[in-house]
Structure 1
Amino acid sequence: MNFNNILTEYDDGITTITINRPKKLNALNQDTINELHHAFKEANVDQDTKVIIVTGSGEKAFVAGADISEFADYSVEEGEYLAANGQKILFNFVENLSTPVIAAVNGFALGGGLELAMACHFRVASDNAKMGLPEVSLGVIPGYGGTQRLTQLVGKGRAMEMIMTAGMIDANKALDYGLVNHVTSQEELLPLCEKIAKKITQNSSVAIATAIKAVNACYQDGVDGFEVEIKGFGECFGTEDFAEGTTAFLEKRKAKFPGR
């Protein structure tokens, strides 16, 4: 599929998706959200892709928010649909992908940008990154899962403060809060993400997909995460990856997982 607002690149098990709207600081409009949905979907079904990295073009912004000009005159019904549809096709979609997704936060990650980063399975930030949910300064609240995922990641008190003040935190505070896993220089951001991704690609993609499902179950209302884990654990015993992994361990060699 040809894209106007994003770039995709594949190399040795890793697909990198770059949001490419530098004049808009990579702000998310509906076209970009739709393109991201298709890019993530294509990478997820690609048997060769073991890890997805998402980042923004340039050195200023991962995603500096949503494109406000697109919805400034929306009605109540249109606003509700905007949030519901966005969560369905991108933010919840990314969170529940079976392929691991790393957010390489290379600058401003505000509003919808931070919400996209939080939907990824974990985050790595450059030392110039700034993160926040400024929506209340516009008379609205985060609508792409920000109130939920920020609370899950940093705790209720910190999430309340960030949302209510509409302020930004820097990369080191984000690291202290547990919002990001690592902080590095701009130059080393993608190399570090790729280094982590390489470690992931050495493991069973089937087991990783099952682990993602089990971890996410912890945050789903009415779902017993322990039961999801038990079921997933048992299902692993019927995979070719389990047979290869245990055989390789007993034979004291490196496993070559078939991904089945």
Structure 2
Amino acid sequence: MVETSRFSEWDVQGDIGILTINNPPQNYLKELEFVDLEDLEKWTKGSSLKGLILMGKGRHFCAGAVQDNIFQFHNEEAIQNTLRKGKAILDYIQNLPIPTVAAINGACLGGGLEVALACHIRVCSETSFLSFPETGLKVMPGLNGTLEAPKKAGLCNAIEMILTSKMINAQEALKMGFVDHVVPGKEVFSFSMNFLKRLTEDRPLYLIHAVMDAINDSRRMKTDDAIEKASKTFCKLAAEIVQKQKNV
């Protein structure tokens, strides 16, 4: 059954969750909170989901934030508050212990590109186009785009994309590292679904969580701490295998 939250829809197919930004035709972020964090937590925490697809309704992924809705605030504190709420959603998605895929069709611009960069994997249609248009408006990406773009595409590509507001096509995005796969437009969703199934269908949920937590830790923790935690998890998993063998 499809559920709704703000201007997003939630559905589940098998053990894959599907979060859809639903503000067609271009799926602008009329609010940076495109879904209530409480709803997203309810749908994903403690569930049997093995993966998540984030997509846009119809022809476009997301053409970014509605700038007038941000510029309407009269002071810096109010702007920071709305940014904080938007970032909390992306941080939550980025730290999920299951693989997440942004299924990109059409426009993926500004805040929409930042939403896509919060996912572990990006699948892009052949006709999609990507850009950070913010500097043309005398601002900059506000939802961690300046942090995530260099990690995915390297410093040079990130600087060029953000400072020039350069528009790139799917093949350029693939070459630069902003996306991971380019497929025909009609195949974006099916490719994303099949890709997640191939990654997870023969793996128990506890193992998916362990692997994804360790991978997420490589980004959110100091290197030595991440290594130590991953080593402890490995030892725990190995000890459980040894114990099962003894009980046979």
TM-score range, shorter chain: 0.7 to 0.9
C-alpha separation in 1, matches of 2:48 and 2:216: 24
1:190 corresponding residue in structure 2 = 189
CA contact (8 A) 2:132 2:141 kept: yes
2:13 corresponding residue in structure 1 = 11
What is the 5 A alignment of 1:103-142? 103-142=102-141
CA contact (8 A) 2:104 2:128 kept: yes
Cα root mean square deviation, aligned: 2.5
Q: Counterpart of 2:219 in 1: which secondary structure?
A: coil
**CA displacement at 1:10 relative to structure 2:** 1.0
Instruction: Using structure 1 for the length normalisation, give the TM-score.
Output: 0.83
Amino acid at match of 1:11: Q
1:26 corresponding residue in structure 2 = 27
Amino acid at match of 2:174: L
Residue by residue over 1:46-105, the C-alpha shift from the partner in whole angstroms, topping out at 9 and shown as x without a partner, is: 52211110100111x1010012221222222222222223212x1111111112211001
Residue by residue over 1:101-135, the C-alpha shift from the partner in whole angstroms, topping out at 9 and shown as x without a partner, is: 11001111111100000001111001111111111
* Higher mean displacement: 95-104 or 234-243: 234-243
Q: Counterpart of 2:123 in 1: which secondary structure?
A: strand
C-alpha separation in 1, matches of 2:121 and 2:233: 25
What is the 5 A alignment of 1:218-237? 218-220=218-220, 223-237=221-235
Amino acid at match of 2:72: D
* Higher mean displacement: 206-215 or 74-83: 206-215
Percent of matched pairs sharing the same residue: 28
Amino acid at match of 2:170: A
CA contact (8 A) 2:114 2:143 kept: yes
**CA displacement at 1:234 relative to structure 2:** 2.4
Amino acid at match of 1:10: V
**CA displacement at 1:39 relative to structure 2:** 4.7
C-alpha separation in 2, matches of 1:58 and 1:239: 43
Residue by residue over 1:162-212, the C-alpha shift from the partner in whole angstroms, topping out at 9 and shown as x without a partner, is: 001112111111111121110001111111101111112222333333333
C-alpha separation in 1, matches of 2:95 and 2:10: 20
C-alpha separation in 2, matches of 1:66 and 1:172: 24
Unaligned runs of 5+ in 1: 252-260
1:200 corresponding residue in structure 2 = 199
Q: Counterpart of 1:22 in 2: which secondary structure?
A: coil
1:258 corresponding residue in structure 2 = none
Amino acid at match of 1:119: A
Q: Counterpart of 1:188 in 2: which secondary structure?
A: helix
C-alpha separation in 2, matches of 1:42 and 1:144: 23
Amino acid at match of 1:30: E
**CA displacement at 1:31 relative to structure 2:** 7.1
1:176 corresponding residue in structure 2 = 175
CA contact (8 A) 1:95 1:119 kept: yes
Unaligned runs of 5+ in 2: none
* Higher mean displacement: 125-134 or 70-79: 70-79
How many pairs align?
241
Q: In the alignment, is residue 55 of structure 1 matched against residue 55 of structure 2?
A: yes
CA contact (8 A) 1:8 1:39 kept: no
Residue by residue over 1:23-51, the C-alpha shift from the partner in whole angstroms, topping out at 9 and shown as x without a partner, is: 4x11113375233x345323322522111
Instruction: Using structure 2 for the length normalisation, give the TM-score.
Output: 0.87
Instruction: Report runs of 4+ in structure 1 exceeding 4 Å deviation.
Output: 239-242
C-alpha separation in 2, matches of 1:218 and 1:108: 30
